[in-house]
């Protein structure tokens, strides 16, 4: 295991994902969200098709096209739809802050649907993280943006995706799973364009750079995470996923002139703190179980 290189790759991946979000938000000013999803889904899907072929993975393995993998792709599509919509309507820093609650949502889902044991300490941390989310979106208070609920929907969808991933057959290649996800994203974008009657915007020269940036950094971020998890220990790398929030806030401030207020910063701090506590607690429990075995 090479945790130092793994940590550097994770931080680089989080920076890449923050830049992808920035380019998507920039595109959403002039391009319908459905069209953005179609473009990202088709191009990134093609990348993973080529990756599967290059590594001789079975794209049409029957196990990859059963109900569970398709349900995962559906959850990915819903998460992408709500996430891109949120990016087009809400400040980048707010989207990134609420999205950090995703590990807490995964822990909650694992307890409710997978039968995993969660003690009162971790339930308390989850509750504190939820308070942080409420502080950022502020339902019923002045400054509340109903559009921020799209981020909450994204957290739920992506948590469902990750929980389903735990149940996937190990024989299904990661590149095939990623390909399915991006195909689902493209299909969801097409449905969105039809349902909302969004017009097709011809490609303009000023949009080429943002498109390439969103696609390129998205693929780099995914590749970086996969590589990091193969060379480093997940327990050592996971805390550095939270660096995405720092990069997103910086991108929002530099590119869009965003200035997160005190309530948003405080809510983000609660989410990060509760997430880190949950991670540390799970690591201790894993060590205790290993010693007992």
pLDDT digits (tens, 9 = 90+) for 30-50: 999 999 999 999 998 998 899
Residue-level pLDDT at 37: 94
pLDDT in the model for residue 25: 94
Per-residue model confidence (pLDDT) at position 260: 87
Which residues lie below 8 Å from residue 178, measured CB to CB, with a gap of 6+? 44, 48, 222
**Which residues does the chain have with pLDDT short of 50?**
none
pLDDT the model gives residue 166: 78
Q: Where are the domains of the chain?
A: 1-31+202-260, 33-90+145-200
Quote the mean pLDDT of the chain. Answer: 86
> pTM of whole model > 0.85?
no
- pLDDT the model gives residue 230: 66
pLDDT tens-digit readout, 55-101: 888 898 888 899 999 999 999 999 999 999 999 999 998 898 898 88
């Amino acid at each position: 295991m090479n945790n130092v290189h793994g940590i550097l790759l994770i931080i680089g991946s989080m920076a890449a994902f923050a830049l992808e979000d920035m380019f998507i938000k920039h595109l959403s000013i002039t391009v319908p969200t459905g069209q953005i999803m179609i473009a990202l889904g088709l191009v990134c899907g093609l990348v993973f098709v080529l990756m599967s072929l290059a590594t001789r993975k079975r794209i049409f393995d029957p196990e990859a096209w059963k109900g569970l993998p398709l349900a995962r792709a559906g959850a990915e599509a819903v998460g992408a739809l709500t996430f891109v919509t949120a990016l087009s309507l809400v400040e980048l820093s707010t989207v990134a802050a609420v999205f950090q609650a995703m590990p807490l949502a995964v822990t909650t889902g694992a307890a409710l649907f997978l039968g995993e044991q969660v003690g009162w300490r971790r339930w308390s941390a989850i509750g504190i993280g939820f308070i942080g989310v409420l502080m950022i979106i502020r339902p019923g208070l002045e400054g509340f943006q109903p559009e921020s609920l799209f981020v909450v929907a994204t957290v739920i969808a992506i948590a469902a995706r990750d929980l389903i991933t735990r149940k996937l057959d190990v024989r299904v290649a990661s590149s095939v799973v990623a390909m399915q996800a991006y195909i689902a994203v493209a299909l969801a974008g097409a449905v969105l364009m039809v349902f909302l009657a969004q017009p097709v915007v011809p490609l303009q020269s000023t949009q080429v750079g943002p498109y390439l940036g969103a696609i390129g950094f998205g693929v780099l971020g995914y590749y970086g995470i996969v590589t990091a998890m193969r060379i480093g220990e997940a327990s050592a790398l996971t805390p550095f996923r939270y660096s995405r929030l720092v990069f997103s806030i910086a991108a929002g401030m530099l590119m869009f002139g965003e200035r997160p207020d005190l309530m948003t910063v405080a809510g983000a701090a609660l989410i990060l703190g509760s997430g880190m506590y949950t991670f540390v607690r799970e690591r201790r429990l894993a060590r205790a179980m290993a010693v007992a075995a």
